[in-house]
Every structure is written in C-alpha cells, then in structure tokens.
C-alpha cells in the first residue's frame, strides 16, 4: 500500500456524503469463520461431506429439506451455532466509528447470511441482506408467507452429520428452513429481504446527486452478487470503490482503489 494512495482514500472518505459498506464471505474469515471458497475450503470445514462428495452448491440446496431434513439441518444448524458463537472482529467497529465520527449516512449491502453486521452493532434498518438470513425461518411448504426469528437451539451430531432436532412450521408442522436464498431455490420467501431492498433503494434515491463511497470487503467472484452491485453503483452514481480483498482485488474497470489485504489491515489503513 502506497502512502500517497492511502492519503487519497482517507481524504475521499472524509469528503463523501454517504457510504455503502458492501461485504462478501471474506469479511468473516478474520472473525474465525470458515472460508467455503472452492471445494477444498468447504470440505475442510465438513469432512463428512467430502466423503459423500457433496459440494457447497449441492449442500446449500432446498432439495435436502424435502429429502433428508436431518442432513439439511445438520449443515444449517451447525452454521447457525457457529455464527451465534462468533464475535465479529474489530473491523466492524472501526467502520461504525468512522461513520459516526464523520457523520456519514451509510447502508450495508451483504451477501452474507450470518448476521454479523447486526451483531457488531450496525443499525438493523440499514442492512440489506441480499441472500437472506440464517437467523430467520420460513415454512418449506410456504403454507403462509410468515418469516419468523429462529430462536431454536439446534443440536448437531457432527460425526454422523445429523441434526438431533428439526425446527417445524408452527402453522402446518412441515419442516421449517432458513430464510436464505439457496442454489436452485424456487421456494425462498423474499418478503423480509424485499423490505430491506426498499430501504436501500430509498437511501440510494436520497443520495442520488451526492458522493457515495463504496467500501467493499471480502467479496469473491464465485457468487459475484456484491461485486456486481459495486460496479453498478460506480457506473450510475458519483461514486468510487475501495475494494479490500487479499486475492480478487482487481477493480475490473471500476473507478476507485484496490487494497490487497484482509479486512482488518485494510480498514485500519484507509479509514480516516
């Protein structure tokens, strides 16, 4: 990182009117969350699925809730427990302190379903979880359009990779599933996420003629939802991207700066 570049970014972040904080799975690595990038990363976290040769794309699929709910809930229950037990790293607080100190209006745009932004203290009304949240449930049969908070404690036997209890829909008693957009998913209830999207669009509308910085952290190319959003914003708004990513740091034509580090190191350097 060049000193000159860092100074420029800091000045830019002081000068803008609003900030979009966008994040993919890479932001969680320094909190100790597993990196599912590539089959090897995923299978390191779930050795039994390696033996069964089930990839992340195959596992994160509504198919299992129909065909093997205890396997489906072993995967999601294990992740739920992991996210509940995880403390978000200091980078989250650094972002909040920056927004507060310089009175920046912000919005979080994330493909993560882990709820770590809420947990670290970001305003719930200023978070758009584009793929939903593991902390909410819906009915697999969509008997109603309810989405409810997941308050259940799910026990997982990690050796057999089976959930010992399975959350049910309180209305029809069918298996409940996380309110997450999965692969090949036609049953996802997007009502909660649509409400977040509406607030996000209001934020964009309000700041249409203003300068909006995008601080993008740990957004990969495998599921490029967050990177597309960054590109869209830099193309349609008066906006520059600060892309923090140790591997996929290329700006791909976006106006801005690229920081080839992890989240904490990058944020400590660039935040004024």
Distance in angstroms (rounded) separating the CA atoms of residues 113 and 78: 14
Helical H segments across 184-242, by residue range: 191-206, 225-236
List the Cα angle 25/27/30 in 5-degree steps.
Answer: 115
Which member of 44, 51, 100, 143 binds Zn ion (CB under 5 A)?
143
* 269 alpha-carbon distance from chain centroid: 23
Question: Segment 144-163, which members bind Zn ion (CB under 5 A)?
Answer: none
- Residue 185's nearest CA partner among 104, 98, 113 is 113
Q: Which of 52, 164, 172, 222 binds Zn ion (CB under 5 A)?
A: 172
Q: Is 90 helix (H, G, I), strand (E, B) or coil?
A: helix
Out of 169, 219, 242, 259, the only residue in the binding site for Zn ion (CB under 5 A) is 169
170 near Zn ion, judged by CB under 5 A: no
- 254 belongs to the binding site for Zn ion (CB under 5 A): no
Query: Residue holding tokens 């999965």?
Result: 182
Count of alpha carbons within 13 angstroms of residue 42, beta-carbon side: 18
Q: Which stretch binds Zn ion (CB under 5 A): 57-65, 80-88, 172-180, 224-232?
A: 172-180
Q: Which of 210, 215, 250, 209 is nearest to 229 (CA)?
A: 215
Stretch of 8-16, 69-77, 132-140, 154-162 contacting Zn ion, by CB under 5 A: 132-140
Question: CB of residue 170 vs Zn ion: minimum separation in angstroms?
Answer: 8
Write down the least CB distance from residue 145 to Zn ion, Å. 10
Token digits of residue 114: 């882990």
Q: Binders of Zn ion: how many residues, by CB under 5 A?
A: 7
Of the candidate residues 6, 174, 223, 269, the single one contacting Zn ion (CB under 5 A): 174
Among 7, 44, 171, 268, binds Zn ion (CB under 5 A): 171
The answer to whether 214 and 242 have CB atoms below 8 angstroms apart is yes
Q: Does 139 bind Zn ion (CB under 5 A)?
A: yes
| Cβ-contact 152, 167 below 8 angstroms | yes
- The interface region with Zn ion, picked from 60-68, 131-139, 154-162, 183-191 by CB under 5 A, is 131-139
Pick between residue 143 and residue 191 the one whose CB is nearest to Zn ion.
143
- Smallest gap from residue 59 Cβ to Zn ion (A): 23
Interacting span for Zn ion (CB under 5 A) from 24-32, 70-78, 115-123, 140-148: 140-148
Is the CB of residue 99 less than 8 Å from the CB of residue 117? Answer: no
CB of 189 to Zn ion, least distance (A): 11
- Joined together, the tokens standing for residue 244 give 């923090």
Q: At 233, list the tokens.
A: 């914003």
What are the structure tokens assigned to 261, written together?
């580090």
- Nearer of residues 139 and 233 to Zn ion, judged by Cβ: 139
Q: Which residues contribute to the site for Zn ion (CB under 5 A)?
A: 139, 141, 143, 169, 171-172, 174
């Amino acid at each position: 990182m060049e000193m000159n570049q860092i100074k420029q970014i800091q000045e830019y972040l002081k000068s803008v009117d609003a900030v979009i904080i966008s994040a993919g799975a890479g932001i969680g690595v320094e909190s100790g969350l597993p990196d599912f990038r590539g089959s090897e990363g995923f299978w390191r976290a779930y050795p039994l699925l390696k033996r069964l040769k089930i990839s992340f794309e195959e596992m994160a699929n509504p198919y299992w809730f129909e065909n093997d709910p205890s396997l489906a809930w072993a995967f999601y229950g294990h992740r739920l427990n992991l996210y509940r037990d995880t403390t978000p790293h200091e980078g989250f607080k650094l972002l909040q302190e920056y927004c507060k100190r310089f009175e920046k209006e912000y919005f979080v745009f994330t493909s993560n379903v882990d709820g770590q932004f809420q947990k670290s203290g970001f305003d719930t009304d200023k978070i758009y979880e584009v793929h939903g949240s593991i902390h909410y449930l819906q009915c697999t049969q969509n008997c109603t359009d309810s989405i409810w908070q997941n308050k259940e404690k799910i026990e997982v036997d990690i050796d057999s990779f089976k959930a010992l209890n399975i959350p049910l829909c309180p209305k029809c008693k069918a298996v409940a599933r996380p309110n997450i957009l999965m692969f090949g998913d036609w049953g996802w209830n997007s009502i909660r996420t649509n409400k977040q999207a509406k607030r996000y669009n209001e934020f964009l509308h309000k700041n249409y003629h203003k300068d909006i910085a995008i601080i993008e952290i740990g957004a990969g190319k495998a599921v490029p939802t967050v990177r597309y959003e960054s590109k869209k914003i830099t193309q349609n708004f008066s906006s520059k991207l600060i892309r923090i990513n140790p591997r996929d740091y290329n700006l791909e034509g976006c106006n801005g700066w690229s920081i080839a580090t992890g989240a904490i190191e990058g944020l400590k350097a660039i935040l004024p």
